[in-house]
């Protein structure tokens, strides 16, 4: 008689294996399990033992696969009357949660697979419904990342990312020094960011020193209301990107003023003006840009303004940075173009965030990299219906 036994694969103290059967055609193994009566039943809610048995129930639970067979456990369990909880509860067999149709070890295995695979791929691999996979993974994520941990945070980076067409955005808050995503919220309104600050303990809010963001008034309003002592720093990338849109408007205005012969030089020059000189690798592109600058003095001046604008962020002294900003605005107003003057007024209005860069030389470059990875997470899963689950997956991806 063989001494081999599958009981070693079920090292749970409170259960006993009584029967097994294999269905060859379906590659399924069915194992019957009953509670071990040597142990007093334990409440699954409070963990206390009870002698009062209410009824016996049965449930079919999916377990980890054994070789090429999918294992189904036919579990018999007891409902007990817990004197401490004062209600009828399911006993804890240390095998499955009271409301789950999979074992705890299979649920943990599913959670580990979801770190590298999509929900659909895990569902196809295990032969389970994708909604079950998502629910299990979300349960583990809520336990680990459900509460926002803001301890030790000194500098924040705040930006938004488009999650759907039609101006649907997600606000992303990053711990700048550690590079981990702290929180995400729907929309990019002042109320959105205020919810994050409301969740922060008062001690953590006082510990904040600086926040880097773009010149978006709702975010500025939320920071000024909730953490008025924090210095706001405006990022160079967003300011230059906004000025690049001004350059494009100037190009179109000058194109309309030019003659038909000169308009041929303007054609195809949109992206040439937006590129940095170091990125013009083709000789044809450099020659085209040279002809355009020789032809139009306004565009030449606008490109000089762009280069001088980037130089403002290199100053470490607030006095010199303020002087350079004033000179830039004075030069911009010399151009008879409404969009350039309007941008100069905008810079003067938000000058405090530009000068704060001298005290805190920070930028949103880290957050832009985070946003790219978030897009990869969304694209890999072909989007997420559950925004809360999507937020937890983002936080999980940047925890380490």
Q: What is the DSSP string of 13-66?
A: TTEEEEEEEEETTTTEEEEEEEE-TTS--BBTTT--B---EEEEEEEEEE---B
42 or 124: which leads in pLDDT? 124
Please tell me the predicted confidence (pLDDT) of residue 130: 92
Q: Is the pLDDT of residue 56 over 80?
A: yes
Q: For residue 3, what pLDDT band results from cuts at 50, 70 and 90?
A: low
178: left (phi over 0), alpha (psi -120 to 50) or beta: alpha
Q: For residue 337, what pLDDT band results from cuts at 50, 70 and 90?
A: confident
Q: Is the pLDDT of residue 278 over 80?
A: no
Determine how many CB atoms are found less than 10 A away from the CB of residue 266. 19
Q: Please, what is the Cα angle at 225 between 221 and 227, to 5 degrees? A: 110
Please tell me the predicted confidence (pLDDT) of residue 233: 94
Token pair of 324 as six digits: 């350079």
Q: For residue 10, what pLDDT band results from cuts at 50, 70 and 90?
A: confident
Which residue, 140, 144, 102, is CA-closest to 123? 102
Token pair of 389 as six digits: 């689950």
Tell me how far CA of residue 261 lies from CA of 255, 258, 267, 295, in angstroms: 11, 8, 11, 11
Structure-derived torsion over alpha carbons of residues 330, 336, 339, 340, reported in degrees to the nearest 10: -30
Per-chain mean pLDDT for the chain: 87
Measure the CA–CA gap between 309 and 239, rounded to whole angstroms. Answer: 9
Please tell me the predicted confidence (pLDDT) of residue 363: 85
pLDDT digits (tens, 9 = 90+) for 158-217: 998 888 877 788 999 999 998 899 999 998 999 999 999 999 999 999 999 999 998 999
CATH homologous superfamily of 155-235+363-397 equals Ribonuclease H-like superfamily/Ribonuclease H (3.30.420.10)
Please tell me the predicted confidence (pLDDT) of residue 136: 93
Q: For residue 137, what pLDDT band results from cuts at 50, 70 and 90?
A: very high
Beta-carbon contacts of residue 125 (< 8 Å; ≥ 6 apart): 113, 117
Please tell me the predicted confidence (pLDDT) of residue 257: 78
Measure the CA–CA gap between 87 and 41, rounded to whole angstroms. Answer: 15
Half-sphere exposure of 29 (CA within 13 A, CB side): 14
Tell me how far CA of residue 61 lies from CA of 8, 10, 58, 79, 390, in angstroms: 19, 14, 10, 17, 28
Domains of the chain: which residue ranges?
9-101, 155-235+363-397, 236-358
- Put simply, whether the predicted model's pTM sits higher than 0.75 gets the answer yes
Mean per-residue pLDDT, 125-136: 92
Measure the CA–CA gap between 100 and 339, rounded to whole angstroms. Answer: 61
Please tell me the predicted confidence (pLDDT) of residue 192: 93
Determine how many CB atoms are found less than 10 A away from the CB of residue 357. 24
Please tell me the predicted confidence (pLDDT) of residue 74: 92
Mean per-residue pLDDT, 104-119: 92
Q: If 0-12 CB within 10 Å is exposed, 13-18 middle and 19+ buried, where does residue 249 land?
A: middle
330 or 4: which leads in pLDDT? 330
Please tell me the predicted confidence (pLDDT) of residue 400: 66
Strand 231-234, strand 210-213: pairing = parallel
Alpha helices in 258-296 (DSSP H): 260-266, 270-274, 283-295
Q: Is the pLDDT of residue 2 over 60?
A: no
Mean per-residue pLDDT, 252-269: 76
Please tell me the predicted confidence (pLDDT) of residue 1: 45
Q: For residue 300, what pLDDT band results from cuts at 50, 70 and 90?
A: confident
Please tell me the predicted confidence (pLDDT) of residue 158: 93
Measure the CA–CA gap between 388 and 395, rounded to whole angstroms. Answer: 11
Q: Is the pLDDT of residue 293 over 50?
A: yes
Mean per-residue pLDDT, 363-392: 85
How many residues comprise the chain?
400
- Between helices 104-113 and 130-145, what is the axis angle to 10°? 90
Q: Is the pLDDT of residue 105 over 60?
A: yes
Q: For residue 261, what pLDDT band results from cuts at 50, 70 and 90?
A: confident
């Amino acid at each position: 008689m063989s001494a081999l036994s599958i009981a070693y694969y079920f090292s749970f103290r409170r259960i006993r294996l009584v029967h097994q059967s294999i269905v060859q055609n379906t590659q399924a193994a069915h194992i019957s399990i009953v509670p071990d009566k040597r142990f007093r039943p334990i409440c699954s809610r409070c963990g206390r033992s009870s002698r009062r048995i209410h009824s016996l129930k049965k449930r079919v639970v999916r377990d980890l696969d054994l070789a090429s067979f999918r294992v189904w456990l036919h579990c018999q369990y007891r409902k007990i009357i817990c004197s401490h909880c004062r209600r009828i509860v399911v006993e804890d067999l240390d095998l499955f949660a009271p409301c789950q149709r999979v074992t705890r070890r299979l649920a943990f295995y599913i959670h580990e697979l979801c770190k590298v695979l999509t929900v659909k791929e895990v569902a196809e691999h295990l032969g389970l419904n994708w909604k079950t996979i998502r629910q299990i993974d979300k349960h583990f994520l809520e336990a680990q990342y459900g509460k926002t941990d803001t301890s030790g945070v000194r500098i924040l980076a705040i930006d938004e990312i488009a999650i759907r067409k039609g101006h649907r955005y997600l606000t992303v808050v990053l711990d700048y020094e550690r590079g981990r995503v702290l929180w995400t919220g729907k929309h990019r309104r002042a109320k959105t960011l205020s919810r994050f600050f409301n969740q922060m303990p008062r001690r953590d809010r006082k510990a904040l020193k600086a926040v880097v963001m773009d010149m978006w008034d709702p975010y500025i309003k939320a920071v000024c209301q909730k953490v008025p002592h924090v210095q706001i720093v405006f990022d160079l990338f967003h300011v230059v990107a906004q000025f690049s849109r001004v350059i494009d408007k100037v190009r179109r205005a000058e194109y309309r003023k030019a003659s038909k012969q000169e308009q041929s030089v303007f054609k195809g020059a949109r992206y040439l003006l937006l590129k940095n000189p170091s990125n013009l690798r083709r000789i044809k592109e450099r020659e085209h840009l040279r002809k355009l600058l020789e032809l139009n003095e306004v565009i030449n001046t606008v490109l000089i303004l762009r280069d001088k604008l980037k130089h403002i962020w290199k100053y470490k002294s607030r006095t010199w940075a303020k002087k350079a900003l004033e000179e830039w605005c004075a030069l911009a107003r010399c151009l008879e173009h409404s969009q350039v003057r309007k941008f100069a007024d905008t810079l003067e209005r938000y000058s405090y965030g530009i000068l704060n860069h001298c005290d805190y030389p920070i930028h949103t470059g880290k957050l832009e990299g985070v946003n790219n990875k978030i897009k990869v997470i969304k694209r890999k899963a072909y989007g997420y219906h559950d925004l809360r689950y999507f937020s937890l997956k983002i936080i999980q991806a940047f925890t380490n």
